[in-house]
Amino acid sequence: MPTPAAPRSGRSDPNSRRAAAAAAAATAARRRRVVLVLAAVAAAGTVAAACGGRGDSRTPAGGATGGTVVIAVPADVDALLPPLVASLQGKQVSDFLYEHLADIGASLSTAGDRDYTPRLADRWEWAKDSMSIAFHLNPRARWHDGVPVRAGDVRFTHQLFVNPVVGSPAAPNVANIDSVSVRDSLTAVFWFKRRSPEQFFDAAYQMPIVPEHLLAKVAPADLRTSELARNPVGSGPFRFVRWTPGSTIELVADTTYYGGRPKLDRVIWTFTPDFTTAVTKLLTGEADIFEPLRPENVAEVAKNPSLRTEPYGALDYGFMAFNLRDHKSARPHPLFGDRALRRALTMAVNRQAIVKNVFDTLGAVALGPYTRAQFTADSTIPQIPFDLDGAKRALDSLGWRDTNGDGYRERNGRPLAFTLLTPTSSKNRVRIAVLLQEQLKAAGVKVDIEQMEFNAFMQREVSRDFDAVMGGWHLDPSPGGVRQQWGTAGSRGKDGSNYSSYESPTFDAYVDSALVATDPAREKALFRRAYETILADAPAVWLYEPRPLIGVHSRLSLPDRHADAWWAGFARWSVAPGKEIPRDRVGLRAATTAAAPTPAAAPAGTPAH
C-alpha cells in the first residue's frame, strides 16, 4: 500500500528484542502461507462520479492508472463502520475506506513495532516505561469530506470500540488499552493497563480510525442504523459511492488521497449467494476475482486463457460449535452443557473423511481454534480421535440409549436430537452439515439441518439462538484473537464473538499469561496449555482449514498480499497496459455504460476475525 513519505522515528519499543526473536521464528512459515479468504466475482456495475481525473499529479509511480475490478462475494456486508464489522465481507470493504495507524508487515509479526510501516501515523514514540505510545498523525491526512484527520478521531474511535452499548465484536481485542488521550491536534497517546509484546499491534492494527466530527452526533445505540453506517466517510485510498443492499457496493479512487492516488479507478463488489452462478460470472468475464474455488472449478479456469489461479495460505478455519447455554435462560444447554456428551459426539465425527470428501487436496483437518499459519500452532497436541465404537460406548455410559428401536438414542424420554444451523451462502458448510448428519446418525444421534441466508443466520448466531452452528472464522494475525471467539469476555453481553458461550477460567488464564510473556518459547508453551484445555473441553468439533485458490483475470496484478488479507495491496492493484477491457476505460467520470448486476437473492456469508 502507499505509505506516507515522512519516515518513522522515535524511541524503539523495549519489547522489540522479543519482536525480532518471534518474527525470526515465525516469518518463514507464515510467508509460505500467503493471503486469506473471501471475495469475488461480479458483473460490471453502474459507475458514479468522483472528484479528480485520471491524470492526477498524485498518481503513484510504477505503472499506468485506470481500470475497474469486479469482485464477487457470497454475501452482502453486515456493516461498513469498523466498530460494527463482524463479517469477512464487511472487513474487506471497510479496509478500502478506513485506515489503521500503521500497517503490519508480510511476516504478520505482532510483537513490537519493527515490522510496521506508517499509515495515518507517520511516526510514533514509546514512553520510557513502555506503558504508553504517542502516535503522530500525518498532517496531510484528510477525511473524504475534506476535514483533517485529528488526534480526537483516534480517541473517539477507541471510545466507540470499548463502549458496551456499541457492542463491538473486537472489544476483547483492545482490552489492554486503558485509554487514549490527546496531547495536541496531531498527537494521540495510548495508555496501557500492563506491558505486553502486542501493545503496538493492539493500538495500530485492531482499530481502524473513524471520524469524530460526523459520528459524535450519533447516539452509540443508533450507530448501526445511522446514515453514516450506510454512507460511510473514511480517509483511505478509495471513497464510498453506493451500496445497493443484496446487490452491489461501489468504491472509487480518491485522487486527493495523501498517500497517492490508487492505480485503479474503482472497485465493485457484487453479491452472489449461489456458488455456481458466482463461478459462472468469473468464467464468462462478468467478474474479475472469485475465491475460494472448489476442486472441480480448477480445470474449468485452466481452460480459460483470460484467467489464472493463485493459491494462498489463510488464517481461516471451520467448525461445528455447540451452544453451551440455553438461549432462553442462563442455564446450561440441556444437551451441550454436558462436557462428556460433547466429547462423545466429537469422537463420532470422522473429520479426515469430511475434509477429503469436500475439499480433496484444498483443505486440511483443523488443529483447533487456530491455524497452521500462526506461530503458536502445535500439531502435536492430542486430539479427540475418531472412534465410532468408542463414541457409542460413551453415549451408552451417559444413559443415552435407543430404547424404542427407531435408530436414535433417548434418555428419560428426551431424544438425543439437535438442530444444526448453516448459512446457504457456503456450499462447503452445507455439504459438511449433511456429512455430519450422516456420521452422527450412525452413532444414534438425530441432526436436523436448518439452512438460512446470511443476515438471518448471523442474527441467530449473535443472539445465541441455536443448538449447534456451522461456523467459519477468519483470524487476525495475533493468536490473542482466540479471546474474542472463545474467551469468557467474548461470551457475555454484546462484546466479542463467543456465540457458543464457552467459559473456562483455565483457558482464559493461559491465554492472558501467554500474551504478556516476553519470551517466545514461553508464549508458545502457554498457548499450548490453552489449546490443550479447549480441545479437551470440546465446545466445538474443529473440522477444516482451507487451502484456498483464487480465480483472477489475467490482466490484473494483485501485489502485496498477506495471509490476514489477500487484498492488502489493493491500492497498488493495476491493469496491465494494452490488456484493458471495456469496463476499464470508463475512467473516473460519471457513466452508465455498463449494465448493472442482477440483484442477488438474500445475502449470506462468513464471520470475519
pLDDT in tens, 441-500: 999 999 999 999 887 898 899 889 999 999 998 888 889 889 888 999 877 655 568 999
Written as nine digits, the cell of 527 is 498457548
Residue 166 backbone dihedrals phi, psi, to 5 degrees? -70, -40
The reply to whether omega before 539 is within 30° of 0 (cis) is no
d(CA 489, CA 34): 30
- Residue carrying the nine cell digits 468408542: 390
- pLDDT of 16 reads 35
Q: Please, are residues 423 and 454 in contact by the beta-carbon 8 Å criterion?
A: yes
The closest alpha carbon to 74, from 294, 240, 238, belongs to 294
Range list of β-strands (E), 4-140: 68-73, 102-104, 116-118, 121-126, 132-137
Written as nine digits, the cell of 29 is 512459515
Q: Is the dihedral of CA 599, 240, 454, 364 positive or negative?
A: positive
Written as nine digits, the cell of 437 is 448428519
Roughly what angle, to the nearest 10 degrees, separates helices 339-347 and 388-397? 160
d(CA 498, CA 502): 7
d(CA 419, CA 396): 22
Strand partners, 545: 364
Helix (H) or strand (E) holding 439: helix 427-441
Strand partners, 553: 307
Listed in sequence order, the residues at least 6 apart from 181 whose beta carbon sits closer than 8 Å to its beta carbon are 155, 188, 189, 191
Listed in sequence order, the residues at least 6 apart from 131 whose beta carbon sits closer than 8 Å to its beta carbon are 191, 192, 195
Helix (H) or strand (E) holding 307: strand 307-311
- pLDDT of 327 reads 81
d(CA 279, CA 286): 10
Residues of the chain with pLDDT under 70: 1-63, 313, 492-496, 589-609
In 117-268, which ranges are continuous DSSP H helix? 151-162, 199-204, 212-215, 227-230
Q: Please, are residues 555 and 285 in contact by the beta-carbon 8 Å criterion?
A: no
Q: Please, are residues 448 and 420 in contact by the beta-carbon 8 Å criterion?
A: yes
pLDDT digits (tens, 9 = 90+) for 280-299: 999 999 999 998 788 888 88
- pLDDT of 494 reads 54
d(CA 76, CA 283): 21
